[in-house]
Amino acid sequence: MSRPHVAALVHDAWSRRVSGRLRERGWGTRIIAHQGYGSAGFVRVLGRVVMDRHGRNGTDEPPRRGGPTLRDLEAEKRWWRDFIGAPAMRVPVSVTIGDRVLDTRTDDSGLIDLTVRSPGLPPGVHSVLLSSPDADDVAAEVVIIGATQRLGIISDIDDTVLSTSLPRPLVAAWNTFVREEGTRRAVPGMATLYREIRAQHPGLPVLYLSTGSWNIAPNLARFLRRHGFPSGPMLLTDWGPTNTGWFRSGQQHKRSSLHRLAREFPQVAWILVGDDGQHDPKLYAEFAAARPHQVKAIAIRQLSTGEQVLSHGLPVANDDLVPAPTEDLPMPVVRGADGYELARLLRPILGLGAGPGPGRGGGPRSGMGTHAGSAVDELDDVEDELEDPDEEDEDA
């Protein structure tokens, strides 16, 4: 076995030192539950354990501070706090599914990722219990996808459903550390598109696959719920070092996750939704070429010129420089500036009907051709502008 990269050794040593100092100061741990998924044959339970000043500390002493103050609640509106949280490394965790109790441990980033075979759960949403010695028990949802389900959605998050202009460092830092959570904007029409597809296909699974960090998963879940997106498991990544280098490969995370889902749900044909700001067209084309029977359609949101510059420094999409090989793909590939235009193009493909309102027609378009412009209804623009960006969330 090869020696771990120096980056991983430094990261682990630092995390152990921070966790030890926090425990000396009376901190305990807190379990953060993430929505998992599964089928009749398995269930994947996801979560994270972090150090917390309000958690149990393994003694009879109360935490050093009481409940959250007004300053704490104000800070939770911004996403910076989650990036500086300390993971609880290698702590024991028990997962209770019905009458079964399974033991595992968090990894070096505090993550819980446990696959349980033969869970005995019917299709639908279920609850499993996560327990750890120095933390309060937490219930985690798992979505069981039925064997008869034939269609699903795999969606990117950044610049596909959430306007972030990531991963440019300065913009990412501004969005994360300065802007309040409630001011983040959803891409117009994307939530409507997903809800329309799910209404036509009850029980349709929606999975959010992103290179975003697990640190901000609770904030992303609140954002999706606030803006009306269907609930679904999020498959994120850890931004820390690995055994091979200083940074993880976002492309490899998406590539391996796509193929894992294909193996886990061989009966499902996926609608792949992403944007042209980074590598989604290339990754989706590779996956579709390798598993054409498991891709129903590919939908790419086209970023504006300004968004392209913020995303990767050039005023054109990466796909314009090195086009993804989509000409020979057997499934439709459509492009649109927002969810409303993508909905017009996908309705004939998915058999969703004409859609609501006049002036929303339009046939499907194959290939990754040049975008002809967006024709979003004026009424929808007004509705988006009327949405209160400072709406308080119950979990904030």
| Cα–Cα dist 132/94, whole Å | 6
pLDDT over 70 (residue 331): yes
- Judging by DSSP bridges, how do beta strands 124-132 and 92-97 pair with one another? antiparallel
What one-character DSSP code corresponds to residue 158?
A: B
Q: What is the phi-psi region of residue 353: left when phi exceeds 0, alpha when psi lies from -120 to 50, beta otherwise? A: left
Angle, helices 339-350/190-200, rounded to nearest 10 degrees: 20
* Whole-number pLDDT of residue 8: 56
Stretch 288-306: mean pLDDT, rounded? 92
Please write the tens of the pLDDT for every residue from 264-295. 999 999 999 999 888 899 999 999 999 999 99
Place of tokens 């076995």: 1
* Structure tokens belonging to residue 233: 């498991």
Q: What's residue 200's pLDDT?
A: 94
Q: Could you tell me which residues are beta bridge partners of residue 297?
A: 271
More confident residue, 115 or 76: 115
Tokens 């309040």 -> residue: 180
Tokens 């609640």, residue? Answer: 73
| Closest by Cα among 326, 270, 280 to 302 | 280
Q: What is the mean pLDDT of the chain?
A: 78
Residue 56's pLDDT band, with cuts at 50, 70 and 90, is: low
* Fold of the 7-144 domain: Immunoglobulin-like (2.60.40)
| Interval 12-39: pLDDT, tens | 666 667 676 776 788 889 999 999 999 9
Q: Which of 100, 174, 159 is nearest to 278 (CA)?
A: 159
pLDDT of residue 226: 93
Q: Closest by alpha carbon to 231, among 241, 239, 242, 223? A: 223
* Cβ atoms of 95 and 45 closer than 8 Å: yes
pLDDT at 138 over 90: yes
Q: Which two tokens stand for residue 143?
A: 């979505």
As given in the structure block, the two tokens for residue 167 are 């991963």
Q: Is the pLDDT of residue 4 over 80?
A: no
Residue 203: pLDDT above 60? yes
Whole-number pLDDT of residue 142: 98
Model confidence at 328: pLDDT above 90: no
Q: Say what the pLDDT of residue 390 is.
A: 42
Q: Please report, for the chain, the start and end positions of each structural domain, with discontinuous segments joined by +.
A: 7-144, 151-386
If phi > 0 it is left, if psi is from -120 to 50 it is alpha, else beta; for residue 377 that is beta
> How far, CA to CA in Å, does 356 sit from each of 18, 105, 277?
55, 49, 29
- Residue 382: its pLDDT value, please? 36
62, pLDDT greater than 60: no
> Which range in 67-76, 191-200, 370-379 is most confidently predicted, on average pLDDT?
191-200
Please give the single-letter amino acid code of residue 178. V
pLDDT of residue 27: 84
User: Which conformational region is residue 118 in: left (phi greater than 0), alpha (psi within -120 to 50 degrees), or beta?
Assistant: left
Q: For residues 148 and 267, give the distance between their C-alpha atoms in angstroms, rounded to a whole number.
A: 8
User: Which band of pLDDT confidence, cut at 50, 70 and 90, is reported for residue 150?
Assistant: very high
Q: Taking residues 168-177, what's their average pLDDT?
A: 53
CA distance 224 to 273: 15
**Mean pLDDT (whole number) for 318-327:** 67
Transcribe 26-69 into DSSP letters.
T-EEEEEEEEEEE-SSEEEEEEEEEEETTSB-SSSSPPSS-S--
User: Exposed/middle/buried for 205, CB within 10 Å: 0-12, 13-18, 19+?
Assistant: buried
Per-residue pLDDT averaged across 227-252, rounded? 75
Reading across the β-sheet that carries 234-237, which strands appear in turn? 234-237, 206-213, 151-155, 269-275, 295-301, 333-336
Q: How far apart (Å, rounded) are the C-alpha atoms in residues 333 and 368? A: 7
| 151-386: in CATH 3.40.50.300 | no
Output the pLDDT for position 369: 38
What percent of the chain stands above pLDDT 90? 52
Q: What's the confidence (pLDDT) of residue 24?
A: 72
- The residue that leads in pLDDT, 212 or 182, is 212
Rounded (5°) CA angle 311-227-272 = 55
- How far apart (Å, rounded) are the C-alpha atoms in residues 129 and 124? 17
Q: Which residues contact 392 (CB under 8 A, 6 or more apart)?
A: 182
pLDDT for residue 134 = 87
